Structure 1
């Protein structure tokens, strides 16, 4: 009796399941996180109700990627390339990360600096669709948030909500460089207005048409945001601050670092990648970092972050803090930071404000006459003049010249200027990419790019997997050392101070492993049990771009798959 009932009921159940599956198909195709385009198999198309909604051809991801690369090769305008690439992300997320990893060295300057700066300045003109709908936020739980208020976007200044391109770009690199799951990443732009009068007159501007709010209401909003993120997603949710104004960046870092799992990439990430370059330069010169005398052009958050981490590295190497601070000088728009100068310095700059020399340099070229390292982080363009570079070459066998300001037009000098004017003797790094430089004698140099992308994805991966509650500056010191260790002697001989960007996935994983070892050794990790083989553990957690099949256990799909 019961067997006959089961047999009679089975076709009805199968029919209901078939209808249920076909209802799921279209949302899967319209969701960029599940869409495979023409790579949906024949069986999937039939069972999911996609027959007739797609061209009949069934493609592999390889063919889809080939089409992308051929189309991109026809484009010459960087902004056009950005729009095309980010359009792929909006339609097919796995294909987007596949093509990004295929050619990360060529595509990173488009999805990140320098082209992302151009995209931000035009954000309202090129906007297509938001990255998340409101409903999506209820079906995933982010482990990493990148937030900006748009006040200091790269070297471009206050762009208000147009700064949203920065969190989006940063999180693209979380996934492309370190394999952090894209559905665990949330970009946020906090809109409190803008002081950019051009944007306030722009009919396509997407934010509040008001001057930037600098009252207590602003601070209360940031407090509420931090509490809301951790209340909803957990205390160990990583919150990365990005492109806040100098006056807010440091105070928020001090205010939140002991209460939340947070870091500021402009301060700490920049510091770590710059220090890694200096540690690599140490190999080339044979001169330890503790013997270098460093001069910064610029005294903002990037300069102070780098300087403080250099001090930490010097102290770890055995010199006193007083001696370490004494080896670092800063030069801003008012001149050398010295005690009792007419223009006041803020509390963050005081440790690097020294007793004035007998003859105070009036220009930057006068200031370089006693230093071995110059680092440009002023964001004011070509301030490493020919005279500056020649002066560095005259007093140093291997002058170290870091032109770190972004985007490219804001760099303090070009790679060609640095190598040519020092006759190939300099150790050069920049924030934005430069092409190979060939001197008249035939020697070729590959400029090192001090890109934060070498640091923050690997650090973020380690922090997420270790369930860290608070992030120490020592984490960024360890990351810098781990990055410098991955530079080979052959690469150093080519003029590189950083490994090739084409290898950045392996670089990020290696950094994550080293940082995880440090976190567990210093009782900063809260994920237990502690993985015995951290390298294997990290690799097992890395997200991949291969398409998944939607056929196994299809009847038990969670609703989150289709929303």
Structure 2
């Protein structure tokens, strides 16, 4: 008779001694105290010496800094998260400026490109067309039942890298790490999700290590039914859960946001989060150089979800300052792969039509700059070096302080570098980028460019939405977040050339944004809890601090 080992296995409801070492949410490694080792039966399973968390952080940073490439650093941090979650978030909290380019842009892009080759341990939930009809059952497999924020991607437009299929999971994982590191949202509340609907990336389809669906992307009604099933499965399994759409292609991003934003609690970070951080940069730039938002003429390079999302929020902000919608839209101009968007062009996508103005068509971006004489250029095209020397010199000719926002990620896709922006405008540019750049020294003057990173916005917005249990996420919440962020830029920051606060302040800024967003939820009647007497204390009560808990 065959001996069935599995029949003898038991799965207790309370952790066994070994669970405390191998469950990353419970593990403290060498920081387990003598009393805990006695009570939990851990003697002999650990070295006899006991370390403080500070000593563990010192060890982790020593190992981290010995890695010879950014991808190896990414892999090291992922492994740390897999074995000791609390220590991982302590390291992020203490060294966020150093860690941000690794856990998010630009390194996360490379990690997604190499995802199937560096894969160690699954994080989050994967659903696919193969599971149709079973999404709700699959979500029940997730061990944490109190999920309050989900980041979901279908992998079609990962940063500026295109279709990476199931390998796009690195983005939801990275975003949720930032929710915890930047705003203190408890990691057990976070769920990264990839919905695998195939990939049109032939290289991935032919990669023997690829573990996604090896067929072209599902489109149309079949695609929509999968998204609908997932959204409903979330409602069935969790309560008061924020769903963040991330890195969906233009063909779906606007449609899905329009379909679900008034049905469930959701937003699209590429459309609304990017818009909010860009608007904050505009507000801060007005403080820095003097001027009004309504007096700006903004020319966008790129008319996808990021570009038109920024345009839409800037229009609302200008309307808030007294312009009509038509007047505000006349201050926002767009170019796409075919040139300047004007009324004479045929078959424009629906999201571009509101910005098709009566003007002479310009096929080239430089010609558009010369014809329109904008005060600001905003790059969201993913086209490296598109802000060429002639473009930036022209911007400097028609503006004393030209606004140059090169927001495309990763760094290799930026429309220009910080050095180029300053050098080609004689140091007069007000520059912001999507990925980090090192300080620039130009003729004895040092400029420290600000990074228009969505991490300044979405963690704080998410915390405010979660704490207030808001039914929906509104444009007013993102406008409010922009104002709070812009208000946190100091005169010292301006003097360094930055229109964003330093990353070391991001947790403090996120809590202020969360309080302001929650206030909007209460004012708009969207909150699911009573208004507290002290909103700041209420928000703070929801903030997770990465410190070890005592087990005895």
TM-score range, shorter chain: over 0.9
Q: Are residues 1:328 and 2:332 paired?
A: yes
Aligned to 2:468: 466
The correspondence for 2:378, drawn from 375, 388, 395, is 375
Secondary structure of 2:533's aligned partner: coil
The correspondence for 1:244, drawn from 230, 248, 269, is 248
Q: How far 1:136 sits from its partner (Å)?
A: 6.4
Q: Distance in 2 between matches of 1:232 and 1:438?
A: 54
The correspondence for 2:350, drawn from 347, 353, 362, is 347
Q: How far 1:21 sits from its partner (Å)?
A: 12
Q: Distance in 2 between matches of 1:60 and 1:444?
A: 40
Q: Distance in 2 between matches of 1:237 and 1:274?
A: 26
Aligned to 2:396: 393
The correspondence for 2:52, drawn from 56, 60, 81, is 60
Greater shift, 532-541 or 189-198, is seen at: 532-541
TM-score normalised by structure 1 residue count: 0.92
Aligned pairs (5 A) from 1:103-182: 103-131=95-123, 137-182=142-187
Contact 2:164 2:204 survives alignment (8 Å): yes
Secondary structure of 2:20's aligned partner: helix
Q: How far 1:429 sits from its partner (Å)?
A: 0.3
Q: How far 1:216 sits from its partner (Å)?
A: 1.6
Aligned to 1:312: 316
Aligned to 1:208: 213
TM-score normalised by structure 2 residue count: 0.93
Q: Distance in 1 between matches of 2:50 and 2:141?
A: 29
Q: How far 1:200 sits from its partner (Å)?
A: 0.5
Contact 2:288 2:499 survives alignment (8 Å): no
Contact 1:22 1:47 survives alignment (8 Å): no
The correspondence for 1:293, drawn from 272, 294, 297, is 297
Q: Are residues 1:356 and 2:359 paired?
A: yes
Q: Distance in 1 between matches of 2:482 and 2:230?
A: 30
Secondary structure of 2:349's aligned partner: coil
Q: Distance in 1 between matches of 2:124 and 2:166?
A: 16
Aligned to 1:12: none
Q: How far 1:131 sits from its partner (Å)?
A: 2.3
Q: How far 1:427 sits from its partner (Å)?
A: 0.3
Q: Distance in 2 between matches of 1:378 and 1:361?
A: 17
The correspondence for 2:203, drawn from 177, 181, 198, is 198
List runs of 5+ in structure 2 lacking aligned partners.
1-11, 126-137
Q: Distance in 1 between matches of 2:388 and 2:508?
A: 37
Q: How far 1:263 sits from its partner (Å)?
A: 0.2
Structure number, greater radius of gyration: 1
Q: Are residues 1:451 and 2:450 paired?
A: no
Contact 1:513 1:538 survives alignment (8 Å): yes
What CA deviation, in whole Å up to 9, does each residue of 1:310-362 have, x standing for no partner? 000000001111110001110111010011225x21111111001123xx333
Secondary structure of 1:374's aligned partner: strand
Contact 2:124 2:193 survives alignment (8 Å): no
Aligned to 2:130: none
1:23/1:508 CA distance change after superposition, 3 Å: closer
Q: Are residues 1:219 and 2:211 paired?
A: no
Q: Distance in 2 between matches of 1:461 and 1:523?
A: 18
Contact 2:300 2:378 survives alignment (8 Å): yes
Q: How far 1:423 sits from its partner (Å)?
A: 1.5
Q: Distance in 1 between matches of 2:145 and 2:101?
A: 29
Q: Distance in 2 between matches of 1:503 and 1:294?
A: 29
The correspondence for 1:437, drawn from 420, 436, 440, is 440
What CA deviation, in whole Å up to 9, does each residue of 1:448-507 have, x standing for no partner? 100000000000000000011111111111110111011111111111110001111001
Contact 1:22 1:49 survives alignment (8 Å): no
List runs of 5+ in structure 1 lacking aligned partners.
1-19, 552-563
Q: How far 1:41 sits from its partner (Å)?
A: 0.8
Q: Are residues 1:88 and 2:93 paired?
A: no
Aligned-CA RMSD value:
1.4
